[in-house]
Amino acid sequence: MFDDRLFRPGAAPSPEDRDRPSVRAALNAAMREEMRRDPLVFQMGEDIALASPFGVTSGLAAEFGRERIRDAPCSEVAVLGAAVGAAIGGMRPIVEFQFGDFLSVAIDQLTHQAAMLRYLTGGQVKVPLVVRLPCGAGQGAGSQHSQSLYSWFVHAPGIKVVLPATAMDAKGLMKTAIRDDNPVLVFEHKQLYRSRWPVTAEYADPEFVIPFGRAAIRRTGHDVTVVATLTLLHHTLAVADALADEGISVEVIDPRTLVPLDTATIVDSVRRTGRLLVVDEAYLPCGIQGEVMALVVERAFDALKAAPRRLGNPGVPVPFAPPLEAAVIPDARRIAEAIRALVGRA
């Protein structure tokens, strides 16, 4: 049913994909263009100047120098604290953590300082800060390097949360994040870095941006709405193609940003289909899946033909062993089973 070639580490691109930008290249292009446009933009992170961990910042130090592409010590507290101070002082820092899991080390600098300062000063202080966070499972990286923790930060007021799933979105959303005057967390799924995608002519425009708070309807349908993010978006699209042969029509929505969340697009879709499935790698307890379900129940309960469903990590550390890791992360089979159950085809 599902060909995971796009997401296999080290997989060579197919001939038709070779000329398409990867998510990694799209993020690099976005930061390069914004650093050319605005001399106040600079970057800090571990090994980003000479040995970029995932290759996203490759080549930037050669163009902009080590003052603007700064290697930082292995201290998330120090790096994020310095970036918050720089942002308050008028700079526009981009911070890269080698793994998004480590943002928990510096949560005070983010949630108690950066996120609140604009509110506490009545808008007098801006904190234009971007934090790039490689996230997600699927590479056997172990419990402390495989989490998807964005639900934590959706809960914290004052922070914007971005989840790009294609090259177009990676570039357009990153540029919007850099230009924003508030703290923005960009969660980048590690399995998507190498994946390549078709783009439109807009991609080459240095002024191409994607506004926050606008979901993308990746596939239209009339039997069930599936809200999915990052790699699971692409799994869901593959499932939707397969289920079409069974006569099941699936509408697939990519929220793109969780804060702000395009609630209207999701609710309107559920009003048309009458069914909802939310698919994400986040932990299910108090996860973003439950928040989306709650919003739909509050605003479109009368349209529901079946109880909404959710898929995600059941609430356990992501295992190191690949078979165990696969057991706790939703896959194409479980997505298909949930959709069939929603439409009464189980």
Question: Which segments of 5-72 does DSSP mark as H helices, in order?
Answer: 23-37, 60-64
Identify the bridge partners of residue 257 per DSSP, sorted by sequence position: 162
What are the two backbone dihedrals, phi and then psi, of residue 71, each rounded to the nearest 5 degrees? -70, 135
The b/e string for 123-143 (b: 16+ C-beta within 10 A; e otherwise) is: eeebbbbbbbbbbbbbebbbe
For 48: left if phi > 0, alpha if psi spans -120 to 50, otherwise beta; the answer is alpha
Whether 76 sits among the annotated catalytic residues: the reply is: yes
Whether 309 and 342 have beta carbons less than 8 Å apart is answered as yes
Identify the bridge partners of residue 254 per DSSP, sorted by sequence position: 216
Out of 34, 96, 145, 188, pick the active-site residue. 145
Out of 33, 46, 76, 251, pick the active-site residue. 76
Instruction: Please confirm whether the linkage preceding 260 is cis (ω < 30° from 0).
Output: yes
Residue 19 exposed, middle or buried by CB count within 10 Å (0-12, 13-18, 19+): exposed
Alpha-carbon distance of 103 to 86, in angstroms, equals 18
Residues 6+ apart with CB under 8 A from 24: 54, 55, 56, 193, 194
Alpha-carbon distance of 211 to 128, in angstroms, equals 16
Whether 16 sits among the annotated catalytic residues: the reply is: no
Active-site positions read: 76, 145
